[in-house]
Amino acid sequence: MECFLCQKHAGKIASPPGGYIYEDTHWKVCHGPVDKCSLGSLLVESRRHFLDFAEMLPDEASSYGLLLEKLYTALRRLTAAERIYLVVLLEGCPHFHAWLLPRTKEIPERGVEFLKKDFTCDETEAQKLAIALQEALK
């Protein structure tokens, strides 16, 4: 079976809400699925198919940290996130991707309790935020 993220990058699977927010040589960034994520949850996906940090090329590794700084800055400003969690699990899809999960002060759960919570968000709001993030990252 072909990799889900490779299929998504090839346009064989529906685009994420608002399309890709950011793309460069190594990375693609999009909003997470609205039926599984809170507003502002982002996926940072490697363009190249590899599993984890041990397989990351030097250029990918150096650009990853710089990209995260840009994303954290824009996401914090646009969502008023008190914390942004970075999660890399790679269980469901063995293609490198990381989740950025903003937590606002209105959400009482913290840490693992926050991560265990079932979230959804509005597709229209996710699309609007994706467009605002595109602008902020220019």
**Which two structure tokens, joined as six digits, stand for 127?**
């699309």
CATH number of 4-136: 3.30.428.10
Burial of 38 (0-12, 13-18, 19+ CB in 10 A): buried
d(CA 5, CA 23): 14
pLDDT given at position 1: 57
To 5 degrees, how large is the angle CA 71–CA 136–CA 73? Answer: 35
pLDDT along the chain (138 residues), means of 10: 89 89 97 95 97 97 98 97 96 94 95 94 96 95
Q: Where are the domains of the chain?
A: 4-136
User: What pTM does this model have?
Assistant: 0.94
